[in-house]
Every structure is written in structure tokens, then in C-alpha cells.
């Protein structure tokens, strides 16, 4: 059973090891369980540990990848959830690979709440309910932020186009990739030990500019760009942009929520 108090939501223990009267500062029910799985699967490509910053205005993530060349930025306002309540701001440290074992690509009801030093995920389908009590981890992070950017180019790209670029460009050379936005098309090229390849995609309904102001070519490491493109698994309409000389941004909007990564440009031949 549950009861409510001034200091937050208290959960009475039921003999299942969850503890007795542990304060629950945040609880939520997700609208789309499959999308949450894809979000954390995408994050897992860059880091194993992540802090969920829970507050009255929703849940946010801002962290640096383990390779320190990618920033991950996500925001889920209360409107993103089917239900959301946070009585006191709190930090939930999660090991992403462990969390993915508790989530599923299948359709289900998925809820989350902090329970003392743990976080409880409840996965419910028509024939069963499974509870995963995951121990929180203490993740120390430096104060990070992306300065305000005035992007020289911003575009929306269908994931189907990104998958074509991956197959014809990234997978062919396994080397760095140069993206060159032009007035009426986007030129993508790569040169590796085994040869070179280039493609030019005309501006169309599947690839549209939202901003275009003398963008410089952007060279990116193959591995990081490959991983960044996988954000299309979260949502098929991908937004790409950058300010000349600054990190490359690739992300998706989920109504009022979003997730995006900022990838450092390639400056040396040592970067993959």
C-alpha cells in the first residue's frame, strides 16, 4: 500500500525486500515503453553510467561520453509521461546496461520510482507484472554545459537517408566522413585506405534546411558518426546542425521532449 506525507510519497514494505516506509521523491509512468528502451540503448553506445536529474519540470540528462568527445543532452518534461510526480528534486544514478536488461522493445506499461537508494521499474503486460529493483550508483560529474550556439546549418533528415549514407559511405571506407552542406544539396564523402566514395543528396521533403548561413564542411570520425546516426531508432525524423568550428549536433524531438548528442569535429588522423 502507499501513503502520502509532507516530505514526499512513502512506500510501505510488503515483504518483497523493498524496505519499509522509504521516501519516494519521484514516480512516473512512461507513455511509450519501446521508445524509452531505444533512448537508453542509444545512450549505452556512449556511456555506461548516467544521472537522471528529476525535478518538478521533468527528467533531464546531461553528461559526457566515456571517450570525452560526445555530450549527451536529453529532456523529458511532465507532458512526455503518462503520469509524472516529483515532490522533491533528486538524482538517480543508473548503470545503463543493467537498466536495458529490465526494459523491453515490446509494448508494455512501464513505470519508475526511486525507493530509498534504489530505483524500481515495473513492467506490466496483459499476463504478468515484473518488478526490477536496481541499485543506484554514485556518479560524480563535473558541471557541464553547451554554450549558446547560432548554427550555420540546421536540417531535418529522414532516418532512411542516414541509413543509405551509412551503407554507401561509412561502411565502405570505415574512415572519417566529411559532410558539406550546399545551397541545393548535401555532399557526403569519405576516403580510406581501400578507396574513396561520395554521394550528393538533393534537398527534398526527406532532407530540408531549417537554417543555412555559409556553413563550412564538417569532418567527423566514422565510429562516432555511425553511433550518432542510430538516434533514428528513437524517432525517424532526425535533426542535424552545427555552428562552424563547433561540435556537430544530431538529435530528435519527441513533442516537447528531446534527446541529442554533440560530437566533436575530427581534428587529427588518430581519431576513428
Q: What pLDDT digit, counting tens, does each position of 214-241 carry?
A: 999 999 999 999 999 999 999 999 999 9
Q: Which residues are within 8 A (CB) of 91 and not within 5 positions of it... i.e. 6 or more apart?
A: 51, 52, 53, 54
Answer whether residue 12 shows pLDDT above 50: no
pTM of structure: 0.88
* Domain ranges in the chain with CATH number 3.10.150.10: 2-135, 153-263
Residue 57 makes CB contacts below 8 A (sequence gap 6+) with 77, 78
pLDDT at 66 over 80: no
The percent of residues above 90 in pLDDT, for the chain, comes to: 76
119-129 pLDDT, tens digit per residue, is: 999 999 988 99
Residue 82 has pLDDT above 80, yes or no: yes
Residue range 2-135 forms a domain whose CATH class is: alpha beta
How far apart are the C-alpha atoms of 132 and 136, rounded to whole Å?
12
Residue predicted with more confidence, 76 or 5: 76
In this prediction, residues 49-71 reach a mean pLDDT of 91
Give residue 149's pLDDT.
85
The topology (CATH level 3) of 153-263 is DNA Polymerase III; Chain A, domain 2 (3.10.150)
Amino acid at each position: 500500500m502507499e501513503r502520502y506525507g509532507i516530505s514526499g510519497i512513502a512506500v510501505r514494505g510488503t515483504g518483497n525486500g523493498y524496505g519499509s516506509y522509504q521516501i519516494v521523491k519521484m514516480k512516473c509512468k512512461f507513455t511509450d515503453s519501446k521508445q524509452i528502451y531505444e533512448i537508453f540503448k542509444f545512450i549505452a553506445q556512449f556511456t555506461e553510467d548516467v544521472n537522471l536529474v528529476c525535478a518538478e519540470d521533468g527528467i533531464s540528462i546531461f553528461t559526457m561520453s566515456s571517450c570525452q568527445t560526445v555530450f549527451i543532452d536529453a529532456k523529458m518534461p511532465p507532458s512526455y509521461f503518462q503520469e509524472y510526480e516529483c515532490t522533491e528534486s533528486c538524482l538517480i544514478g543508473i548503470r545503463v546496461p543493467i537498466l536495458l536488461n529490465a526494459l523491453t522493445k515490446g509494448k508494455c506499461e512501464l513505470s519508475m520510482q526511486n525507493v530509498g537508494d534504489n530505483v524500481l521499474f515495473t513492467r506490466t503486460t496483459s499476463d504478468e507484472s515484473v518488478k526490477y529493483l536496481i541499485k543506484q550508483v554514485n556518479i560524480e560529474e563535473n558541471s557541464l554545459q553547451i554554450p549558446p550556439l547560432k548554427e550555420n546549418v540546421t536540417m531535418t533528415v529522414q532516418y532512411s537517408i542516414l541509413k543509405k549514407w551509412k551503407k554507401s559511405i561509412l561502411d565502405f571506407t570505415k574512415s572519417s566522413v566529411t559532410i558539406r552542406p550546399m545551397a541545393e544539396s548535401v555532399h557526403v564523402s569519405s576516403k580510406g585506405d581501400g578507396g574513396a566514395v561520395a554521394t550528393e543528396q538533393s534537398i527534398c521533403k526527406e532532407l530540408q534546411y531549417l537554417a543555412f548561413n555559409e556553413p563550412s564542411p564538417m569532418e567527423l570520425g566514422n565510429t562516432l558518426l555511425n553511433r550518432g546516426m542510430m538516434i533514428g531508432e528513437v524517432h525517424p525524423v532526425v535533426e542535424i546542425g552545427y555552428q562552424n568550428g563547433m561540435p556537430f549536433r544530431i538529435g530528435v524531438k519527441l513533442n516537447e521532449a528531446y534527446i541529442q548528442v554533440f560530437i566533436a569535429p575530427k581534428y587529427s588522423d588518430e581519431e576513428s
